[in-house]
Amino acid sequence: MEKKLTVNLKGSLPVEIPAQGLNGYKALKALGIDSTGRIAGIKVNDQIQDLSTEITASAELEPVYIDSQDGLQILRHGAAHVMAEAVKDLFPGTKVTIGPAIKNGFYYDFDYKRAFEAKDLPKIEERMAEIIEKDLPFTRSEIPSNDAIEFFRSQGETYKVELIEDLSEEEVSIYRQGNFTDLCRGPHLPSTGKIKAFHLTHVAGAYWRGDETKAMLSRIYGIAFADQESLNAHLENLEEAKKRDHRRLGRELDLFSIREDVGPGMIIFHHNGVILRHIIEEFEIKEHLKRGYELAMGPQLLKTELWKKSGHFAHYRENMYFTAIEDQSYGLKPMNCLAHMLIYSSKMRSYRDLPKRYFELGTVHRHERSGVLHGLIRVRQFTQDDAHILCTPEQLKGEIKNILDFVRDIMAIFGFDYDLEISTRPKKSIGTDMDWQKATNALIESVEEYNLPFQLNQGEGAFYGPKIDVMIKDALERSWQCATIQCDFVLPERFDLTYVGKDGEKHRPAMIHRVILGSIERFLGILIEHYAGAFPLWLAPVQAVILTITDRNIPYGEDLLKTLSEAGVRVDKDFRNEKLGFKVREAQTKKIPYMVIIGDKEMEAGKVTIRLRDGRNLPPMSPKELIERIEDELKCLK
């Protein structure tokens, strides 16, 4: 009797089909789905596999379409392999290392006798197109590790040999397409012909395994999409992103500068940048006080013994800076949690005192590698809108929901939509399984009760607790991680934090680490690009600039400057002996919301002419009317 297996599409009734030679292709065909079209792979019981994967037991199946997020990852991984084959064809002697899919694209790191350059990319793209045109199948094999080591060593692929040796597995999987063989877990597309739209974007340097003591490699980046239309739209977004680059706008708007003689990852904020920071920080303090937070401030340096007690020394010290004072070791703080716990432990707490919410705009330092530093987005010194909440276990979910309310309100003010990700226990962590499970359940249940969808990231939590990450979407639909909510039962245990419960006994509080905007520097970089430097009026460092037509108008301009300043308007002046058109263009470049123009006619009438940064002109108005207009525009935050 022919053996049969029961399979079903997710959400559909099961079907019995012959088990002999059953793979993803045949199973989908039996379920009425044409796998020759836009399908990149198949989920077998929620595990993504190649379409050629054998199905040996009853299973729930789901096609992975090439334009889905999972499908695009498979597509981009395939593009990386095709690029590696093209590079090896064109540049004999090249050694390949790793080539993953990343968000929106892929890269591959190569070791060649010279660094690859931008001028090499068109030739590589041309060769990739030839490989794609051949529609070469991606074929998977599982072979003993010793055989794989022997094969890659014979090919001169020393990096692959190192990777296999470090895996310490009996078998490894390899994929072949054409003349190219790569160590790879997969999954992969059925064939190279499925890659319809790709583009190589740029070249960068990268250390092997991110270690500055190891070989410098050439990293070639590319992007790939399911169709040319999607690729073109992404390329347009990239061009727009260049125009919005916060590093360029930071210079043009005179917000900040970065100097090599100061050091990488250290930001010098100019007047306008400091004003912008001050607006954000003042806003944050007000919002936190409104929600029952207490202000706190800890020292920059704390004794290393405290960092050992917290677990940071064992699990985070590679990201920290240390120094010695009078033979005593100190650590420069990378986080603000220690001081907040010390404030809590400064006296006995009752359950009636809880929750305690400590908020600090705390400046921290982290040892980031120079290769990952990027403008304001990734720096070595930054300020976090950091808070730590200590509460009873019964209050935990309520506090998490309060933070989600806080996030919702603040992101609405800035015009950001967002998604949530929940990350669980990493391999390198501290604490008991029971504490981790309690913390993880609290986060998941809070989000589910809040009725928000989320993505689960296994093993991506902090070393002391699981977390919710808030991924905001900017004007170009790019995703940025800002707010985070971390649930922690470990540090209260390590620092022996307690409260007296209703029963008169001591109990251990739960602790929430959270930020709303995250790093102020990073958030400013995101804001600059989100608004393309044209900040809403409440955020604009300069809300209005007074432009004189002739020197005769300067006395009236000075009086007007004083009037607007006293009314709380952030105002600048341009009384230079330059043509008005030149002054207007410069003010528009600086993206100043209001250009207040005064000439003889305005002086005589006691009025001003207004030009907005979008080029519109307003009818003449009195200074009082201008102030009222600005105040009305600012009422949205009151």
Residue appearing with tokens 């397409």: 177
Detail the DSSP E strand segments found in 287-426.
294-295, 301-303, 321-325, 328-332, 356-365, 381-391, 417-423
Other beta carbons within 10 angstroms of residue 123's beta carbon come to 14
Out of 288, 513, 530, 570, pick the active-site residue.
Answer: 513
Residue 219 is among the residues annotated as catalytic for this protein = no
The residue from 109, 120, 386, 574 that is catalytic is 386
Instruction: Look up residue 351 and give its two tokens.
Output: 């359950």
Q: How far apart are CA 403 and CA 487, in angstroms?
A: 12
Q: Cis omega (within 30 of 0) on the bond before 355?
A: yes
Active site residue 366: yes
Q: Name beta bridge partners: 465.
A: 462
In terms of DSSP H, where are the helices of 373-516? 396-414, 433-449, 490-494
Q: At what angle do helices 520-530 and 228-244 cross, to 10 degrees?
A: 110
Q: Is 88 a catalytic residue?
A: no
Query: Could you tell me how far CA 362 lies from the centroid of its own chain?
Result: 20
* Residue 629 annotated as catalytic: no
Distances 2 to 17, 25, 237, 616 between C-alpha atoms, Å: 10, 20, 55, 78
Burial 300-316 (b: 16+ CB within 10 A, else e): eebebebbeebbbbebb
Please tell me the distance from the alpha carbon of residue 504 to that of residue 510, in angstroms, as a whole number.
18
Q: Give dist(CA 604, CA 577) in Å, integer.
A: 21
- The verdict on whether 337 is a catalytic residue reads yes
Task: Quickly count: other Cβ atoms within 10 Å of residue 156's Cβ.
Answer: 12
Q: Mention every residue, 6+ apart, whose C-beta is less than 8 A from residue 136.
A: 177, 178, 191, 192, 193
Whether 94 contacts 219, CB under 8 Å: no
Alpha carbon dihedral 64, 67, 69, 70, in 10-degree steps, equals 30
Instruction: State whether residue 5 is helix, strand or coil.
Output: strand
Take residue 187 and report the two structure tokens written for it.
């999954």
Q: Is 386 a catalytic site residue?
A: yes
Active-site choice (337, 391, 482, 487): 337
Query: 467, 583, 590, 591: which is the annotated catalytic residue?
Result: 467
Q: Which of these is catalytic: 43, 77, 127, 388?
A: 388
The residue annotated as part of the active site, out of 49, 177, 384, 486, is 384
Give the active site residue among 26, 88, 356, 366: 366
Q: How many other CB atoms are there within 10 angstroms of residue 459's CB atom?
A: 11
- Tell me which residues are annotated as active site: 337, 366, 384, 386, 388, 467, 513
